[in-house]
Structures are given as C-alpha cells and as structure tokens.
Amino acid sequence: MLTQSHLGIADALLAPLLWAHALAATTWVGGTLVYILMAPRLSSAQAEARVLWRPFRETLRVGIGVFVLTGALMAAQRFASATLPPLYFGLLVVKVSLGIWMFSIARRIGAVETPAAGSMAWLRSPEWQVVVLGVIIYGVAITLRTIYEAAIRG
C-alpha cells in the first residue's frame, strides 16, 4: 500500500510529465491555428507560407516524441494506480488513433496549396483538419482524466 509520502513523490514525478504533455498539445493546436491565421497574410506566394512552416514543423516533430514518451509513462502510471473501466481503455485507443491520424495529416501542411480564401475548401485543408482533430483529442483527454479521477476516488 502506498503511504501519503509515496503519493507526494509520485505526484511530484508525474507533474512534469503532465506539463510536458499539455505543452506539446498546446503547441500542436495553438501553433497550427497561428499558422492558419498568419500564413495567408504574409504573402500571396505559397513559397513564403512554406518557409514559415518549416521551423514550426521541426517543433511539431519534437512534440510527437514528447507525446509518445509522456503518454506512455502516464498510461503506465494510471494503469498501475487504479482499476479502470473498459470505457477508459476504449477512449484511450480512440485518443491515440486520432493523434496518429493528426500526425499523418500534419505532414501535408506547407506541402499542399492552401485553397482560396473565398471558397469553403479551406475547411478541408490539412491545417484545419489538424486543429479540429486536436480540439477533439483535447475533449477525449478531459474525459479520460475525469474517468481516471472517478476510478481513484471510488
């Protein structure tokens, strides 16, 4: 059985993982949204938008590594600390699958032409797909945390 002092140490070790995971998620969704808003204003030339995207793309690649490492460690901690309902595992599979899908879509950002601003085709752009998937993943993450917290209380 874990004592109160063990829980304090575990929480202290878990906090940086949660912080890094949340920071990577914020960078993915917020950074992509900033890119969406700024790239068309830089120039009508797609080449300049691609130049803007390149450094950010490298940041997102690091973010993928952070997601994988921190997500695996947090999942292991949660699996070991509580008896979780099947719904938790199902939603975790959905979250990971959506994340992989989002990462694969992000590879096309900056590589494909952005649709004209006057048409509704921009909603199908990889940038907007990444933002929408990121927001959905945030919602699933909040649900997972709620289920986990209920399991450790119960």
pLDDT higher than threshold 70 for residue 39: no
Amino acid letter, residue 109: I
Q: Which ranges of the chain would DSSP assign to H, the alpha helix?
A: 4-42, 46-81, 86-106, 126-153
Measured from the Cβ of residue 95, the count of other Cβ atoms closer than 10 Å reads 19
| pTM more than 0.85 | no
pLDDT higher than threshold 70 for residue 63: yes
With 0-12 CB in 10 A as exposed, 13-18 as middle and 19+ as buried, what is 3? exposed
Predicted local distance difference test score (pLDDT) of residue 88: 96
Residues 116-150 have pLDDT tens digits of: 555 566 667 888 898 999 999 999 999 999 999 99
| Whole-number Å distance between alpha carbons of 141 and 26 | 13
Sole residue written with tokens 């032409």: 113
Query: Which tokens hold the place of 136?
Result: 């959905």
| Whole-number Å distance between alpha carbons of 91 and 140 | 7
Predicted local distance difference test score (pLDDT) of residue 1: 45
Predicted local distance difference test score (pLDDT) of residue 20: 92
Average model confidence (pLDDT) across the chain = 82
Nearest Cα neighbor of 36 from 98, 102, 124 is 124
